[in-house]
Each structure stands twice: as structure tokens, then as C-alpha cells.
Amino acid sequence: MKIPVFTGSSVAIVTPFRDGNIDYKKLGELIDFQIKGGTSAITICGTTGESSTMSLEEHMEAVDFCVKYVAGRVKVIAGAGSNDTMAAVMLSQEAEKSGADALLSVTPYYNKTTQRGLVRHYTYIADRIGIPLIMYNVPGRTGLSCTADTYRELSKHPNINGVKEASGNFSLINATIAACGDDFHVWSGNDDETLPMMSIGAKGVISVVANILPEFMAELTKYCLAGDFKRAAGLHYKYLDIMGKLFIEVNPIPVKNAMNMMGMDVGEPRLPLCDMDPANYEKLKTSMKKLGLAE
């Protein structure tokens, strides 16, 4: 049996930019906001953190800053995935040197691979690190999905702790939990699927909406972990609309706009991500207003 890296809610934290550079003062403020709001772990340099447009130096510097700033208050999970296995190893080892508690490693994208290749890719990385690795299955972005058999095989590795599942494939998730049990943990990668996924055994969520509502996601996961799915469902439906609106355009465009509406001043996303379509912006703003998060 493996102990999960975390239970509850981990924020997939945005990266604030100012004048083309990472705004570390603001990032520190965002981390404090999350910890105060009950977030169990900070996931830095993930999809929401725009790692795909960071240089290697920026990526490693952001992870190092996050670890030092958090200073053990909560877990730090460092994004360290790549479609280049050797690059993933390098990012993983650098994050471990910085003191990250765990790694988040997306499946190879663009070049993709076979299921056999996935086993070899993750095994190669896990053999070269000493901290837990969380896989990240997001076929909508990568064009590739794992199978339950692949998860079962990788669950045998002591350093592979589980997966952030953003496939939306509940047949896969059910089969994975049934096949792997406590040797391989599952976290939701989609906010609006957290409740149903936790009802069948997921340990929590790596969340986008937590960037603006950390208390909500922390509370929802707390109820789920306690088996109080009725109260969790009440929260789920209260915030269902905003969870959807944060994906009205590609993440993290909407969540950065939502944070700016709240006065958090996180800047704009980097190209090729750009400003929201005005009509979508108004839909997001309307949803925010209903929750008292915008004027």
C-alpha cells in the first residue's frame, strides 16, 4: 500500500507575469492565499501555470521559489513532464534537488507513444528519482490516453504514486481503481468531476477553480473524504456554473481573467494564449457576479 502524496485539494496555481517576467512577489501572495484557504498542496508549473511557454531556467526557478516560499507549510508538487523523456528526467531531478515533495508528469504529447512506450517512459523517469511521481493523463491536450493495464503495470513501481485523471473516462477510472487498489492513487483533473470521482475512490483534485475559491474546493473534498456526499453535492451544484465557465476558453485564459476581476492582478497569459473573446468574458463575469466575486 502506498501513502497518497496528498488528499483533498491541490491548486494548479497560475503563474503571474509582469513585463514579460514571472512576478514572484505576486506568486508569493497567491501561495499565501491558497494556504490560508485550506489548500493541501501547491502544484507549480502545470498546465494552468503555463509551463509550456516557460524557458527551462524559468521553470526550474519557479519550482525552487515555490518550495522555498512554502517552507513546508503544505506539499509542493512540481510539474516536470515532457514529451522528451530525457528532458522529463532533468526537470524531475532538478525539482527533487529544490526540495519538491512530488512530481506531476504529463504523458508524452505530439510525438505520443504506445502503451508499451508509456511504461518505459515512466519507468525510466521513476528509476532516476527519489520522490513520488504523479502521472497526468489529459488526452484532450496530448492526443494520448493510458489504459488501466498500463496503470496496473506502473503501479508496481515504488516511486509512481498515482495519476491526475483528466480523461473524463469513468470506465477507465473505475477499471483503474479496481485493478490497482491502494498501490496507485487517483486524483481528479477536472473540477466538475471531483465529486463523482471521489465517490468511487479518488483521493482529491488538482484544481483550477481553487485559484479563485480555495475554501470551496478544500471543503468539498473534505466532505467527500468523510463520506458526506450529500453536503459535498450541495457545494458542487452551487459552484457548478463557475467551474464550467473557467473552461469556456482554453485554460488558463478564463481563470486569469477571473482572478483579475477579483483584483488579484495576475497579468495576462503568454502567447499563443491571448485575451478572451468579449462575449465569453461577459459570460464569465456574469457567473462571477452571481457568486459575489465580481462587480
Across the chain, mean pLDDT equals: 97
223 in helix, strand or coil?
helix
Identify the active-site residue in 26, 75, 136, 222: 136
* Residue-wise pLDDT tens digits, 46-86: 999 999 999 999 999 999 999 999 999 999 999 999 999 99
pLDDT band at 156 (very low <50, low <70, confident <90, very high): very high
C-alpha span between 269 and 71 (Å, rounded): 27
Closest CA to 42 of 57, 30, 52, 51: 30
135 in helix, strand or coil?
strand
Model confidence at 295: pLDDT above 90: no
* Residue-wise pLDDT tens digits, 212-223: 999 999 999 999
- Catalytic-residue membership of 164: yes
Model confidence at 294: pLDDT above 90: no
Span 191-216, average pLDDT: 98
Identify the active-site residue in 26, 122, 151, 164: 164
Q: What residue spans define the domains of the chain?
A: 8-247
pLDDT of residue 110: 95
pLDDT band at 172 (very low <50, low <70, confident <90, very high): very high
What pTM, to 2 d.p., does this model score? 0.96
Q: How crowded is residue 290: how many other Cβ atoms within 10 Å of its Cβ?
A: 12
Span 162-177, average pLDDT: 97
Percent of the chain with pLDDT over 90: 99
5 in helix, strand or coil?
coil
Span 258-280, average pLDDT: 96
C-alpha span between 57 and 184 (Å, rounded): 32
Model confidence at 95: pLDDT above 90: yes
Is 8-247 assigned to CATH 3.20.20.70? yes
Model confidence at 157: pLDDT above 90: yes
79 is written with which cell numbers?
Answer: 510539474
39 is written with which cell numbers?
Answer: 489548500
C-alpha span between 187 and 233 (Å, rounded): 18
Helix spans in the chain (H): 24-36, 56-70, 85-98, 115-126, 139-142, 148-154, 170-180, 194-199, 214-225, 229-238, 240-245, 253-261, 278-290
